[in-house]
Structure 1
Amino acid sequence: MKKFDRHEGLVAPLDRANVDTDLIIPKQFLKSIKRTGFGVNLFDELRYLDEGEPGQDASQRPLNSDFVLNQPRYQGASILLTRRNFGCGSSREHAPWALEDFGFRAVIAPSFADIFYNNAFKNGLLLIPLAEDTVDRLFAEVAASEGYRLDVDLENQRVTTPSGEIIEFEVDAFRKQCLLEGLDDIGITLKDEAAIRSFQDKHRAARPWLFRDSA
């Protein structure tokens, strides 16, 4: 997965609480496990005026001009600002896949659903929980200033606003290190590849009868 160290990006505000994973990526788009190609259907029910189906040419679909991600001022946004309990609902890993594939690198909210929180970090998406009053203030600043951008520094665990205000955030040390190194579960395991191969070689030498049919 992509490493995350420091990211500066445009903020898009999704002023909605309890956004569930079916709203993030509707169930009809879960047929693929390639991890890519889901960005075009992120928030599908909100972005488009018709009912989306797999394989559709999204460029021909009617857009909902009122939806935040369709508004010109938020094109190219890579930081999502939203409300409490983001990512609730089913455990589908396609939700962080869709957010990452769309171009988001970080999501800021007062709270996140537990399973979504775990899935996001395992897919290179940084989730930043901030106090509700801080999130309220950020929403107000985004609305008042077109082109509002934030600087997210994972190493030092802080977000810097355009005015220079520094907002510190908490993150689990293990998840932080995985993001900094760009390691998912497989990558973490492969860090011990030499030790694994050494064990396999010794095991094969000590019990050759177990491997006669696998040569």
Structure 2
Amino acid sequence: MQPITEIVSRTVVLRERNIDTDQIIPARFLTTTERKGLGKHAFNDWRSLPDGSPNPDFPFNRAENIGARILVAGRNFGCGSSREHAPWALTDLGLRAVISAEIADIFRSNALKNGLLPIVLDEAVVDALLDQPGVELRIDVAQRSVTLPDGSAVQFPLDAFARTCLLEGVDQLGYLLKQNDAITRFEQQRQTQEFRHAS
């Protein structure tokens, strides 16, 4: 994972509520454990018309949204079944953050493990952003803040461990591996103490 300290980007908007993980990445695309390439299937059934051609009305098919790294979505984003493929598909699509008034717990956990920042903001703030697609936002991970188009900043919840992992660009296992020297020292000290007690 790449460290995430700041995200500055235009937004792409999906106003729908209750966007579940099967809509994010349909089950028929879960046959791989490769992360790369899943972005082309993100929101697959919304991005394509019945004949297979791109749906020109779908936000991710519009030229003005190319390169947008922040998704603003309706309430209860990421509900449904647990699948890490959902954040994999979104990050492969180029997204680095999802903002909603409510984000499903399992999706949130999977997102944080895979370098996608799930941000829950007050519903009134999210509604305003849903009405203004394409605005530029600045997300500061260290400060846990989002700077809005009017220049004001709002805070979002992010636990200290998740914040550290994002800033350092590591997942849970990577964090533990970075503590290897300290773990080794602790084990050596413990063995020495046990040996002393035994003798």
TM-score, structure 1 as length reference: 0.82
Residue correspondences, number: 189
Secondary structure, aligned partner of 1:141? coil
1:158 aligns with 2:149: no
Cα shift at 1:46: 0.4
Residue of structure 2 in register with 1:15 after alignment: 15
Alignment partner of 2:121 out of 94, 118, 130: 130
SS, match of residue 112 in structure 1: coil
Aligned positions of 1:40-189 closer than 5 A: 40-50=40-50, 61-142=52-133, 147-189=134-176
Q: Which sections of structure 1, spanning at least 5 residues, go unmatched?
A: 52-60, 204-215
> Cα RMSD between the aligned structures?
2.0
In 2, Cα distance between the equivalents of 1:39 and 1:49? 18
The separation in 1 between residues aligned to 2:53 and 2:117, in whole angstroms, is: 31
Partner of 1:192: 179
Q: Tell me how far 1:36 sits from its aligned partner.
A: 1.5
Report the 3-state secondary structure (helix = DSSP H, G, I; strand = E; otherwise coil) of the residue aligned with 1:92. coil
2:26 alignment counterpart: 26
State TM-score, norm by structure 2: 0.88
Post-superposition offset of 1:162: 2.8
Task: Tell me how far apart the structure 2 counterparts of residues 158 and 69 of structure 1 sit (CA, whole Å).
Answer: 25
Deviation at 1:197, TM superposition (A): 6.1
Distance 1:184 1:130 in 2: 24
Identity among equivalent pairs (%): 46
Deviations 1:134-175 (A, max 9, x none): 111112233xxxx42111111111111232121221211111
**In structure 2, how many angstroms separate the alpha carbons of the residues matched to 1:12 and 1:29?**
23
Q: Which runs of 4+ in 1 moved over 2 A?
A: 192-200
Shift of 1:16: 0.5
Listed as ranges, the gaps of 5+ residues in structure 2 are 192-199
User: d(CA) in 2 for partners of 1:185 and 1:76?
Assistant: 28
